[in-house]
Amino acid sequence: MTPIPDRQTMTAVQGGARVSIFLVGFMGAGKTSVGLALSRRLSWPFEDLDDRIEEHAGHSIEEIFRLLGETAFREMEHRALRDLCGELRQSARVVALGGGAFVQPRNLALIAGITTHTVFLDAPVEELLRRCQQQAKTRPLCRDAAQFRQLYEARRPGYLVSAYRIETQNKDIETVAKEVACSLGME
């Protein structure tokens, strides 16, 4: 007798393909924090694309931007995402993408080529700016408020093509992770 798979396993496999969860959104949206909480909740591996880039490059994202520029960073990001997408065909994961990764057309094409749930973690720009300013981490594209707002407005339409949108303002990390899981029918 074959055991009946649990709900998480059934949701993670659709038509024989592994279904990963990609968290997308702007700087400060909570992609990494929520991704870690969601991965614990689902007992799935977690992957932060920026961590993968830093490990491979041997430099922080800030150093890559400073030493090589944004164009070189975007190329590294694309290669890292391409490699990750290849791995995801074998094993489902919760993935946090960098703020600009999902709005790059060639990255979007990679993501469209695999079976995945895309979830936009959204909050008002003022909230995102406040969160970024409170972090010790330096963000290369968060130099001043006007530039931050302009970049947010330019990227937001790209994030809205995600399959799901979760509002994060005034919510703790565990609450957002639970909302993501519920939205995907995994809880």
- Do 176 and 182 meet the contact criterion of CB atoms below 8 Å apart? no
| Span of 30-44, 93-107, 125-139, 164-178 with lowest mean pLDDT | 125-139
Phi, psi of 145 (to 5 degrees): -60, -40
Average pLDDT of the residues in 75-87: 96
The maximal CA–CA distance of the chain, rounded, in angstroms, is: 62
pLDDT of 173 reads 96
Angle separating helix axes 173-183 and 31-42, nearest 10 degrees:
60
- Contact present, 152 and 141 (Cβ < 8 Å): no
Q: Average pLDDT of 89-112?
A: 94
Cα 23 from Cα 116, distance rounded (Å):
10
Interval 146-177: pLDDT, tens: 888 999 999 999 999 999 999 999 999 999 99
pLDDT tier for residue 136 given thresholds of 50, 70 and 90 = low
What ranges make up the beta strands (E) of 70-127?
A: 94-96, 116-122
pLDDT digits (tens, 9 = 90+) for 62-77: 899 889 998 999 999 9
Residue ranges of domains in the chain, CATH in brackets: 17-179 (3.40.50.300)
Q: Give the H or E element holding residue 165.
A: strand 164-167
With 0-12 / 13-18 / 19 or more C-beta atoms within 10 angstroms meaning exposed / middle / buried, residue 26 is buried
